[in-house]
Structure 1
Amino acid sequence: MNRAPFIAVEGPIGAGKTTLASMLSEELGFPMINEIVEDNPYLDKFYDNIEEWSFQLEMFFLCHRYKQLEDTDRDYLKQGQPVLSDYHIYKNVIFAERTLHGQKLEKYKQIYHLLTHDLPKPNVIVYIKASLPTLLQRIEKRGRPFEKNIEHQYLERLIADYDTAIRQLQEEDPDISVLTIDGDTEDFVLNKTDYERIARQVKELIK
C-alpha cells in the first residue's frame, strides 16, 4: 500500500457500518471519521416526502462529507496517519441516483465531481452486505424516529445499488481492496469469533 491506509466501512441503511467501524477503530488504534446523520435538518422531511426534499438532503450530506474528508486529508493522511471512516464519499452518488431525477440529478453530479475529484479515497472498503429482513431488524432495534417511514421498496433498491456501486469502484480502481461481510450470517457484535475473523482479514489487507 503506497499511502497511509484509509479504510471505509460501507453498506445500506441499517447494515451496522458505524458499529463495525467503531470496533475496528478501537482494535487498530486508528482515528475514526464518523458520519453525522441525526444533525441533518432535512431527514424528517425527506422520509415524509422524498421528492420534495431530496436535493436539499443530498446537498447537505455532500457538503458535510466534503469538509470532513478535506480535514481528514490535511490532519491525518498527509501526515502519514491511517484513518477509518464509516462511509465512502461515493455513497452520495448511490443515494442521489435513487432520489434525484432529470436536471436536479445532473446538477448534483456536476457539483459532486467538482468537489470530490481531488479528495482522498479509501484504499480499503469493508462492505457489509445484508438482506432486507436483516436491515429492517437493525433499523427497528436502533429506533431512530426519522427512519420509521422508510419504504421497504426503497431499501431493496439500495441493496442492489450498493452491490453495483462496489463493483464499479473495484473496476475503476483495481488497487482498491474490498472485504465483503455477510451481514445476515456474520454477527460481529454478539459473536466474538465472527468479529475476530473480520479484524484479522482487515489487518492482512493493510499490511
Structure 2
Amino acid sequence: MKSAPFIAVEGPIGAGKTTLATMLSQELNLPLVKEIVEENPFLASFYQDIDEWSFQLEMFFLCNRFKQLEDTGAHYVQQHSPVISDYHIYKNMIFAERTLKGSKRDKYRQIYHLLTDDLPKPNLVLYIEAELDTLMYRINKRGRSFEQDMDPAYMEQLIADYKTGMAYLADSPNPPIIIKVDAEALDFVEHPEHFRQIVNQVKEYIT
C-alpha cells in the first residue's frame, strides 16, 4: 500500500462495525473515527415512518460524517498518518438510494457529491457480511430502543444493497482494497483466533 492506510469497516446494521473497528484500533494502535448514530434526532421517527423522515435522517448523517471526514483528512490523511473508521462515506448513498424517492433523492445526490467528492476516501475496507438472522439477533441484543421495531424486510433489502454498494466501490476509480469478513464463519468477539485471522489479513496490506 503506497500511502498510509485509511481503513474503514463496513456492513449492514448490526454487523459489528464499531466493535471490529474498535478492536482493530486497539490492536494496531490506530486512532479511531466513530460515526454518530444515537445522537441523530430523527432515528426513532424514521423507523416508525421511513418515507416521512428519511430525508431529514440522511441529511443529518451526511453533514455529520462530512465534518468528521473533513477533520480526518486534515489531521491524519494529509499528514500521512494511518487511521481507522467504523464507516465509509459511501454508506450514505447505500441508504439514501433505498429510502429516498423522486426529487428528494435527486437533491440528496447533488448534495452528497458536492460535499464528498473531494473528501479523503479509505484505501482499505473491511466489509462484514452477515445473514438476516445474525443481524436481527445482534440488533436485539444491543437493545437500542429505536431499533426494536426494525422491519426484517428492510434489513433483507439492506443486505442486498450493501452487496451492490461494495461491488460499486470495487469498480470505482482508485478502488479500495476490500477484505470480506464472513460473520457467519468468524465470530471476532467470542473467538480470539477469529479476530487474529482478520488482524493478519489487515497487516498484509499495512506493513
Give your verdict on TM over 0.5: yes
> Corresponding residue for 2:118?
118
> Corresponding residue for 2:29?
29
Amino acid at match of 2:113: H
Amino acid at match of 1:76: Y
What TM-score comes out, normalization by structure 2 length? Answer: 0.98
TM-superposition CA deviations, 1:97-124 (whole Å, max 9, x none)? 1100010000000000000010000000
> Corresponding residue for 1:184?
184
For residues 64 and 174 of structure 2, the distance between their equivalents in structure 1, rounded to whole angstroms, comes to: 28
> Corresponding residue for 1:155?
155
> Corresponding residue for 1:103?
103
For residues 2 and 195 of structure 1, the distance between their equivalents in structure 2, rounded to whole angstroms, comes to: 25
SS of aligned partner of 2:186: coil
> Corresponding residue for 1:143?
143
Amino acid at match of 2:132: L
Change (3 A) 1:106 1:175: closer
How far residue 81 of structure 1 moved from its aligned partner, in angstroms, is 1.1
Residues 75-84 or 65-74, more deviating: 75-84
SS of aligned partner of 1:172: coil
SS of aligned partner of 2:171: helix
Task: Summarize the alignment of residues 36-51 of structure 1 with structure 2, pairs less than 5 Å apart.
Answer: 36-51=36-51
Amino acid at match of 1:69: L
Amino acid at match of 2:189: V
For residues 6 and 104 of structure 2, the distance between their equivalents in structure 1, rounded to whole angstroms, comes to: 31
For residues 197 and 2 of structure 1, the distance between their equivalents in structure 2, rounded to whole angstroms, comes to: 23
What TM-score comes out, normalization by structure 1 length? Answer: 0.98
Unaligned 5+ segments in structure 1 are: none
How far residue 2 of structure 1 moved from its aligned partner, in angstroms, is 2.6
SS of aligned partner of 2:8: strand
For residues 9 and 127 of structure 1, the distance between their equivalents in structure 2, rounded to whole angstroms, comes to: 6
SS of aligned partner of 2:21: helix
Identical-residue share of aligned pairs (%)? 59
How far residue 175 of structure 1 moved from its aligned partner, in angstroms, is 4.5
Pair 1:72-2:72 in alignment: yes
